[in-house]
Amino acid sequence: MDKFIEWFKSLNFEFLSIIGAIIYFIVIIYTIFKIIKNTVNPSKAIGYLLIVVILPIIGVILYFSIGMNYRLEKLYKRKYTHDRNFYQIIRNEINEHTEKRILRYNKLLEGKIHPIRMLLNDSSSALYIADRTELLINGENKFRKVLEELKKAKKHIHIEYYIFADDNIGNEIKEILLEKAKEGVTVRFIYDDFGSHSLNKRMIKELREGGVQVAAFYKIKLYAFANRMNYRNHRKIIIIDSKVGFIGGINVDDRYINSSNSKLYWRDTHFMVEGEAVNGLQYNFITDWNFCSGNDVDPFDKDYFHKSSPVFAIDKNPELMQIAASGPDSDRATIMLVYNGIIMSSRKRLYLTTPYLIPNETIVNALKYAALSGVDVRILVPYKSDSIIVNAASCAYYKELLASGVRIYRYTKGFVHAKTIISDTNLSVIGSANLDMRSFDLNFEISALVYSETINQELYDAFMEDIGNSTEVTYREWIKRNKLVDMGNSIAKLISPLL
């Protein structure tokens, strides 16, 4: 030990300083190179470059923890490989099946063929036929149906949530899962480790000891805390016996259920589907499960998939459905691309609801194009967001959208958390993805594209009721806003690619 101390004291600290400076310089140059090479969004790249130049050490840590484009780096390589192998095997069958349905129902699908084929070519997303569907407005309606259907389970329950709270509704669902597992029903449960941080070890232990298979999606660990926190599984789906499925924006949390005791009215939308259309949800659950559980489910096991309906022996006016799913494991920002296609293909009306409006340039231009083309474009957002910075960043987009003819409404009855799109009279979108860069680039998201005039009309009626509980933002009023507030919004917009 004494010899080591003497050796350490004898070192030339000037020499060590030079070596340290060289290493520091190399790290900075390497980081700048990675930012330029891998950051697809120019504004995001400029943001990270500025941070690295102004605050080098903080900038480097920030970029490598939350800024790297893990879609290019294939952080989720195992999941990506699994998914691609499965797709390649069934691709031809899906393509043939979907093309026949496009031909058979071309009148119902009028004007929406391009988004359908985009999803088909991008991720082999089949066009399914739904036996029955139901639009579920708000948590009180959703959970009534969820509890009812869970109690009917005979074979398996697959449940995946961003937020699963240890509260009244969380424990009510937990008790049903335990009871079903006791009856011999296979129960698999995925929760996001960041979103469900309030889910305590006691409940997880109780579920596992009761026979429920539980897996955290990409568990947060100290050595990789930041990037694991950044890449979240934002999906909210349930599959029961391959017959019934739920998808939408409502997490398992008491605050989504409006009652006389609610402090804040929570406006949200979910969707229930029965029949072969559940297969799209089932496939995505199984690939997520196989990634995070370490206990693979055979994706070809017929017990997990509903038998497809014959292509021609069906109703003349069916309800068709397609699933759009994307995340850091996908080749492209699938949901952003299909949303862009829906916006661009709309001909009469386009009504969007989102709690977080921080679109990228592609979506902004598509919205402006649609409005300037004469499409009735309306966006419903909260009057106040649950994040001051996000709310300020959203406001910064209003001026250019309003100037192009987009109509913006701010919901005043409570907090609107729904993520829906109404395109013309034949396409509706209900899912987990917001109109923001996080949903497009970072989160694992899933949305249902429903080709149905009935669901479209129901969603339209709900949207118009929401408009009645909102205040419209006009261009003339908006440009008169306080200049300091406007400046604050512009600053928030600058950092919005990093949010």
User: Which residue among the candidates 34, 156, 234, 306 is catalytic per the annotation?
Assistant: 234
Contacts of residue 55, defined as CB under 8 A and 6 or more positions apart, other chains included, come to none
Active site residue 306: no
User: Which residue among the candidates 419, 436, 441, 466 is catalytic per the annotation?
Assistant: 419
Q: How does strand 349-353 pair with strand 376-382?
A: parallel
Active site residue 234: yes
Query: Distance from first CA to last CA of the chain, Å, rounded?
Result: 49
User: Which residue among the candidates 241, 268, 288, 329 is catalytic per the annotation?
Assistant: 241
Phi and psi of 300, rounded to 5°?
-100, 5
Structure tokens at 10: 């004898």
Its sign, for the CA torsion 323, 227, 31, 499, is positive
Cβ atoms within 10 Å, residue 263: 7
Q: Are the CB atoms for 144 and 169 separated by under 8 Å? A: no
Active site residue 236: yes
From CA 392, how far away is CA 388, in angstroms rounded?
A: 6
User: Which residue among the candidates 112, 180, 236, 243 is catalytic per the annotation?
Assistant: 236
Active site residue 288: no
Question: For the CA atoms of the chain, what is the radius of gyration?
Answer: 24
Cβ atoms within 10 Å, residue 8: 8
User: Which residue among the candidates 131, 288, 424, 466 is catalytic per the annotation?
Assistant: 424
From CA 380, how far away is CA 356, in angstroms rounded?
A: 10
User: Which residue among the candidates 417, 436, 441, 466 is catalytic per the annotation?
Assistant: 417
Active site residue 193: no
Active site residue 37: no
CA distances from 358 to 429, 476, 493 (A): 18, 22, 8
Catalytic residues: 234, 236, 241, 417, 419, 424
